[in-house]
Amino acid sequence: MKKIFMFCSLLVCSLLFLLSGCGNTQTAADTPKPYKIGVLRIDDSLPLYLAEKEQLFKKAGVPVKIIEFNSAIDQRKAMEAGELDGMMTDMIVTGLLKKGGNDVRIVATALGADKTEGRFLVVSAPNSSLKTARDLPKGNVAIAKNTMMEYLLEQYETELHLPKNRIKTIQLPNLSLRLNAVLAGKDVQAAILPDPLAAFAVRQGAHILIDDTKLKENYSQSVIILTQTMITNHRQDVTKFLTAYNTAIAHINQNPAAYRNLALQKANIPKSLAASYKVPAFTEKSVPAKENVQRVMNWMVSKHLLEKPYTYDEFVLPQ
């Protein structure tokens, strides 16, 4: 009888152990995988960095992992390979991704909802005779072809009534090399640069030829895109993601000084600019306007980057 009792006890313990193990396995299996969002180390990405650092995504109930990339090319390749669920990018890249078979849509504006956000400058070398936009036909401008940089330069030329066929461009995609080349003033007389590199160039003596925050139209926007698979299959998670993202923007706008160190750390701000660096303001619950999307689409078609434009609804998920 004693042996039977001991056997039964051991059997019960074994069953409890197995059930406990199965329970743990089930819990691990049910743990949702985080959505992977690709970012570049620029201040456009600051709300995403902050939402992760302060666990705003977790508080909103959506698992998110921020993946850093050193170049836009590597980031785009990861998206094309299906390794990301979303990324911070621009509308030109968004169009090219869609053309390549990656069904993505814009869910938010990163920087550029207002034309004072995300400044770009066209600057000339400190020793250059180019002092105004009207002088551009006398020199050349370093850009990255088939990118937002080329798009912006052509929009500036149109608004300012500059002779496009007389302005020479030089292909120089790497921003650091472009900055160094225009400061040297040898082969490159002018260049288009985003802040904070643009501000750094001016501090080194470069001349401002065009400041896009002073133009009539708002041309430059960075955006947040997500895959259509995530949007379709996990719409509640998209809503939670945007809630956390907009909460991060609100925190930054309410107290930018509190997040200055995070921006300096994550946005590759040159040391010489650290003392004067200002955390940018962001706009909550914003997506690109229809006219901005249409202008980009028309330009991409004119450059044969797209066969036909995408509709606004194909391109943007309204907030």
8 Å CB contact between 153 and 143: yes
Q: Same topology for domains 35-113+220-315 and 120-214, yes or no?
A: yes
Confidence of residue 4 (pLDDT cuts 50, 70, 90): very low
Six-digit token pair at 246? 């907009």
Residue 28 has pLDDT above 90, yes or no: no
CA 152 from centroid of its chain's CA atoms:
16
Q: pTM (2 decimals)?
A: 0.86
The pLDDT score that the predictor gives to residue 115 is 86
Confidence of residue 160 (pLDDT cuts 50, 70, 90): very high
Segment 261-303, tens digit of pLDDT: 999 999 878 788 888 888 999 999 999 999 999 999 999 999 9
Q: What is the mean pLDDT of residues 168-187?
A: 94
- Of 123, 119, 137, the C-alpha closest to 184 is 123
Between 301 and 2, residue with greater pLDDT: 301
Q: Say how many C-beta atoms besides its own lie within 10 A of residue 285's C-beta.
A: 13
Residue 29 has pLDDT above 80, yes or no: no
8 Å CB contact between 171 and 235: no
Residue 172 has pLDDT above 50, yes or no: yes
CA 143/CA 190 separation, integer angstroms: 9
Confidence of residue 14 (pLDDT cuts 50, 70, 90): very low
CA 316/CA 289 separation, integer angstroms: 9
Confidence of residue 30 (pLDDT cuts 50, 70, 90): low
Q: Say how many C-beta atoms besides its own lie within 10 A of residue 135's C-beta.
A: 16
Which phi and psi (to 5°) does residue 222 adopt?
A: -100, 155
Q: Which residues contact 123 (CB under 8 A, 6 or more apart)?
A: 182, 190, 191, 193, 198, 201, 202, 206, 207, 208, 209
Segment 188-233, tens digit of pLDDT: 999 999 998 999 999 999 999 999 999 999 899 999 999 999 999 9
Q: What percent of the chain has pLDDT over 90?
A: 79
Q: Which residues contact 291 (CB under 8 A, 6 or more apart)?
A: none
Strand-pair category, 35-40 with 64-69 = parallel
Between 43 and 299, residue with greater pLDDT: 299
R_g (Cα) of the chain, nearest Å: 25
Confidence of residue 10 (pLDDT cuts 50, 70, 90): very low
Strand-pair category, 222-227 with 86-90 = antiparallel
**Domain limits of the chain?**
35-113+220-315, 120-214
Domain 120-214 has CATH 3.90.1150.140: no
The pLDDT score that the predictor gives to residue 184 is 97
Domain spanning 35-113+220-315 has what CATH number?
3.40.190.10
